[in-house]
Amino acid sequence: MRFDVRSRFGRSQPAKEGSDAAKVQSMLHAHGYSEPAGMMNVRLVHLTDETKRRELMVIYAEDLKETGFIAEDLMPGGRGSARWPEIEKELMERAKENVRFAKE
């Protein structure tokens, strides 16, 4: 399967009402979980047909705290900005290792 892949980082913020992010936050909160202060993620999108109107989206996310940085540190000019490419590469590798699809 072909995927459009994008990675990013940022501070956790309340999601817009009705959005996919709001649905995920609601599901997490309903099970007693909450978002960390900062996160980094890899977003994988596969368009399922020629119309490009249907998609399979998977978001692999991790706590940014594990890097030793906060989101502002990784912004251009931040104390960790030069490290983002390395952190991003490692994040992508973990996403590849941990996200699996299987036919039934």
What is the percent of the chain where pLDDT is above 70?
100
Question: Which pTM value belongs to this model?
Answer: 0.83
DSSP label at residue 16: P
Residue type for position 104: E
Domain ranges of the chain: 4-98
Exposure class string for 62-101: b at 16+ Cβ within 10 A, else e: bebeebebbbebbeeeeebeeebeebbeebeeebeeeeee
pLDDT digits (tens, 9 = 90+) for 20-66: 888 988 999 999 998 899 999 999 999 988 887 888 989 999 999 99
Report pLDDT for 77. 96
Task: Report the distance separating Cα 18 and Cα 22, nearest Å.
Answer: 6
Bigger pLDDT: 14 or 94?
94
Six-digit token string for 25:
């936050």
